[in-house]
Chains A and B, each alone.
Chain A
Amino acid sequence: MRARDWILTTICGLTGSAAAALGVFYVVSFGGAGHGAAAARIGGPFTVVDDTGATVTEKTLAGKPYAMYFGYTFCPDVCPTTLLDMSRWIKKLGPDAEKLNYVFVSIDPERDTPKLMHTYLSSFDRHIRGFTGTPEQIAKEYRVYYKKIPTDDGGYVMDHSAVIYLMSENDRLVTVIPYQEDDASVLAKLENLVAATPAS
């Protein structure tokens, strides 16, 4: 384990949620695009199911850069807003949209069955795929914080990192789209991601 990996892991482990979120920003702020070792820390092997029920792994996304967002369908506000934002960006990218993958990963598999994910995503751009089933590994590899918060009616809501990762075709963090970034800035990031992709 590299020293900076160790430091990051320690920080996250010691202080929990706030540090986990800060950890993401640590990597992004101090690692950033092009600094291989730091950028490599987000992302890694995972096995989940997609919204058709098929098993997928990190290899499923290989070959194209991708945008990955973690959330849940029970979320009434931020998650649909983010998926609508993503749908709008995809539309604005035009033909270049095909050069990227887009993934919505549920951190609430208890409610988000593949079938529900598929139905839910039918309201958004068709490029966005849903991943669910076993979020533990993928959340760990992507340093995503999530926690179940019980409510007084016996139900629960989820706290979760509200960030979109932009990853290279070989699984390295390029940059992030923070919550509520303006469209012009996001599109510049997405176009850079498309431009950096080697022609295949």
Chain B
Amino acid sequence: MRSLFKLVIFAALIAGAPAALAQGNEDSAIAVEQPWARATPAGAQTGAVYMTLNNKTSAADRLTGASSDVAAQVRVHEMAVVDGVMQMRQLADGLPIPAGGSVTLKPGGYHVMLIGLKKPLAAGETFPLTLTFAKAGNISVTIPVQAMGAMKDGKGGVNQMGGVGGVEDKKSGRGMGKMEMK
């Protein structure tokens, strides 16, 4: 009984937590950490959502899809620049999240792509997104929209207008450029 009470308190705390903290309910196998989207240029039909997915279980999982009220379609994509050519691909088998491990979706790498935006994403707004995992099922999160130049979730003094600063080159594992604080 006492543990149930604790669970209720915990759930209440999680429910009231700001969007930047881990989201999902208390028994979610996957914690969705620091989710954010970038404000979109005028007229843009697409947007990108980034986050860290932390698998709290001892079984590997996959992010297989997503949906949102703000877009006609939502897809899980990988972006890469190979030999100077930008390529974007849907992950046919979903995005693997290792057991007990995490995967970060960030500019220049993985993203959840919003296709057919019903209106531009404006900085300061939030919107709902439901992520679908092969094992963890559906997890609904609230996505805050950061300024167009944001490269991170906007918390902890990261560079809001920094553009290229501090982004890792996923293919080579090299850091690209210097972090430049504005």
Residues in chain A within 8 A of chain B (CB atoms)? 17-18, 20-22, 24-25, 71, 73-78, 80-81, 83-85, 88, 111, 116, 119-124, 145, 149, 151-153, 155, 157, 159-163, 178-184
Contact (Cβ within 8 A) B43 A116: yes
B148 touches A123 (CB 8 A): yes
Residues of B within 8 A of A (CB): 38, 40-48, 73, 75, 79, 81-90, 107-108, 111, 113-115, 148-149, 151, 161, 163-165, 167, 169, 176-178, 180
What is the bound-complex CA distance between A88 and B150, given in angstroms? 13
CB distance from A38 to the nearest CB of B (A): 17
Q: Would you call A159 and B40 a contact (CB within 8 A)?
A: no
**Within 8 Å CB of A161, what residues of B?**
84-86
Contact between A123 and B41, CB atoms less than 8 A apart:
yes
Q: Which residue of A lies closest to B151 (CB)?
A: A81
Number of residue pairs across A and B with beta carbons under 8 Å? 126
18 more CB-based (< 8 A) A-B contacts, given A25-B84, A123-B41: A17-B83, A17-B85, A18-B85, A21-B85, A22-B83, A75-B88, A76-B40, A76-B46, A76-B47, A77-B79, A77-B88, A77-B108, A78-B81, A81-B151, A84-B163, A160-B85, A181-B164, A184-B178
Q: Within 8 Å CB of B79, what residues of A?
A: 77-78
- Chain A at the B interface: SS class: mixed
Q: Name A186's closest neighbour in chain B (CB-CB).
A: B164
Question: Which residues of A lie under 8 Å from residue B85 when comparing CB positions?
Answer: 17-18, 20-21, 145, 159-162
**Among A20, A120, A145, A157, which residue has its beta carbon within 8 angstroms of that of B43?**
A120
Instruction: Assess the A73–B43 pair: CB atoms within 8 A.
Output: yes
Chain A residues with CB under 8 Å of B86's CB are: 71, 75, 78, 159-162, 179
* Residues of B close to A24: CB separation below 8 A: 84
* A183 CB contacts on chain B under 8 angstroms: 163-164, 177, 180
Contact of B177 among A76, A149, A181 (CB under 8 A): A181
Q: Is the CB of A80 within 8 A of B40?
A: yes
